[in-house]
Amino acid sequence: MSTEDDLDAVFKALANPVRRRICDVLKLRPLTTKQLCACFPELDRCTVMLHLGALERAGLVVAVRKGRERFNYLDAMPIQAIHERWIGPLAAQAVGRLHRLKIDLEQETLSTPAARR
């Protein structure tokens, strides 16, 4: 995942709640398209296929044909790239701030008159 367009496609694909649910189902195990359609009885096969197409274009789903069946695999690497770019650094900053707060509170507690007794 190297271009902004790739990231845009991932965010656009994940903006749809049905596509996120498809990713949730596929993270457990690969499914054939038929099995995946059975997980979404409220949607017709064509709609599921359209959502799968958007997920494939974003690089989040890889389809592999085995005979007459099409197995859909979740590829979490685009999500990992997003994590590395935004979530990881922000989480590290938050942990650093919490650690600093802990140290400050411990020092404050030790410096109060009640703590000296």
Domain boundaries, the chain: 4-75, 78-116
Task: Confirm or reject CATH 3.60.15.10 for domain 4-75, answering yes or no.
Answer: no
Q: Which of 49-53, 93-97, 106-110 has the lowest mean pLDDT?
A: 93-97
Residues 33 and 35: their CA atoms lie apart, in Å, by 5
Please state whether beta strands 61-66 and 69-74 pair in parallel, antiparallel, or not at all (unpaired).
Answer: antiparallel
Q: In terms of C-beta distances under 8 Å and separation of at least 24 residues, what long-range contacts does 51-57 make, across chains too?
A: 51/16, 51/18, 51/19, 51/22, 52/22, 54/12, 54/13, 54/16, 54/19, 55/13, 55/19, 55/22, 55/23, 57/9, 57/13
Q: How confident is the model at residue 46 (pLDDT cuts 50, 70, 90)?
A: very high
Instruction: Give the pTM.
Output: 0.71
